[in-house]
Amino acid sequence: MVARFVFGDAREWRYIVDSLATLIEEANFIMDPTGLRLRALDPSRIAMVDFMLPSTAFEEYECDEETRIGVSFDDLNKILKRGRADERLVFEVAEDRLRIKIIGKIERIFSLPLLDIGGEELKRTPKVSFTARARMLSDTLYDAIKDATLVSDSVKFSAKPEEFIIYAASDKGEINVRFTEEGGALIEYEVSEPAEAVYSLGYLNDILKKANKVSDMVLVEFATNNPLSLTFDVVGEGKLTYFLAPRMEM
């Protein structure tokens, strides 16, 4: 069995792994001839992360058959933080261990035991008919979420035909953030049916703080009282998507 890949930018790969670690402590990467993927729920089962990177995104990619790479993200992150943008990463699976090379002016080799992570692999993402879709700069959305955390621990997303609104309120006060195509905040915006839903600010803040470094664009999709989807484009036509369950009250 051969399972090996080379990624050209160690810092960029660190950002991807750090974004996955926002929700999960350990999980299986699934490597097969088509590419690398990971799909997992957070421990509270409130959020899901779905990651996919095709084999063509790597400098080198070798995989004869489906291989599970069970890792602790805390341990993996500690290693990846040692890499820089001008260094390459090599991941190799052999003899129940994951070997990680960081190659720059010198070559450093780390080795981690593969974890036997049980449980059935999630075969699908939540089935939701989204009625609102907004593509925007990820740091713009992150700024709005940070603003909302000043007054509440939850936030209402509201999609109307002409504007997308983020609203938060508590006895501390309230905040309204309005996004429009005309104002330049929305790159794309489609609403087939007005939508409103409430989500946890704690989760949103954690997700955007990390994923904001992976991509400067985010696709926001939701429907009334349904899960929220946030999709970030990753280098090499990869995708990093988060699903967040709605809260029933604000």
- Structural tokens at position 136: 């925007």
The alpha-helical segments, DSSP class H, found in 2-110 are 10-21, 73-80
Same domain, 154 and 59: no
Contact 128, 229 (CB under 8 A): yes
| pLDDT tens digits for range 178-191 | 999 998 999 999 99
Tell whether the model's pLDDT for residue 174 goes beyond 70. Answer: yes
Same domain, 71 and 136: no
Tell whether the model's pLDDT for residue 173 goes beyond 70. Answer: yes
Same domain, 59 and 145: no
Tell whether the model's pLDDT for residue 236 goes beyond 70. Answer: yes
Amino acid identity, position 60: E
CATH number at residue 106: 3.70.10.10
Same domain, 206 and 149: yes
The count of structural domains within the chain is 2
Tell whether the model's pLDDT for residue 249 goes beyond 80. Answer: no
| pLDDT tens digits for range 200-209 | 999 999 999 9
Q: What is the pLDDT confidence band of residue 119, given thresholds at 50, 70 and 90?
A: low
Cα distances (Å, whole numbers) of residue 190 to 65, 78, 110, 160, 187: 41, 41, 47, 9, 10
How much of the chain is in helix, strand and coil states, percent to nearest 5? Answer: 20, 45, 35
Task: Evaluate the CA torsion angle 38, 202, 78, 118 in order and state its sign.
Answer: negative
**Rounded CA separation 250/33 (Å):** 45
Pick from 48, 78, 113: which residue ends a domain? 113
Same domain, 65 and 23: yes
> What pLDDT is attached to residue 95?
85
Cβ-based burial of 220 (10 A; exposed 0-12, middle 13-18, buried ≥19): buried
Does some domain include residue 148?
Answer: yes
Does some domain include residue 206?
Answer: yes
| pLDDT tens digits for range 66-113 | 999 999 999 999 999 999 889 999 999 988 899 999 999 999 999 999
Does some domain include residue 122?
Answer: no
Same domain, 158 and 72: no
Q: Which of 116, 101, 19 is nearest to 60 (CA)?
A: 101
Pick from 58, 85, 113: which residue ends a domain? 113
Average pLDDT, the chain: 94
**Rounded CA separation 69/31 (Å):** 8
Does some domain include residue 249?
Answer: no
Q: pLDDT > 90: what percent of the chain?
A: 89
Provide the residue range defining the domain that includes 236: 132-244
Does some domain include residue 125?
Answer: no
Does some domain include residue 90?
Answer: yes
Among 31-40, 45-54, 60-69, 111-120, whose mean pLDDT is lowest? 111-120
**Rounded CA separation 133/136 (Å):** 10
DSSP code for 57: G
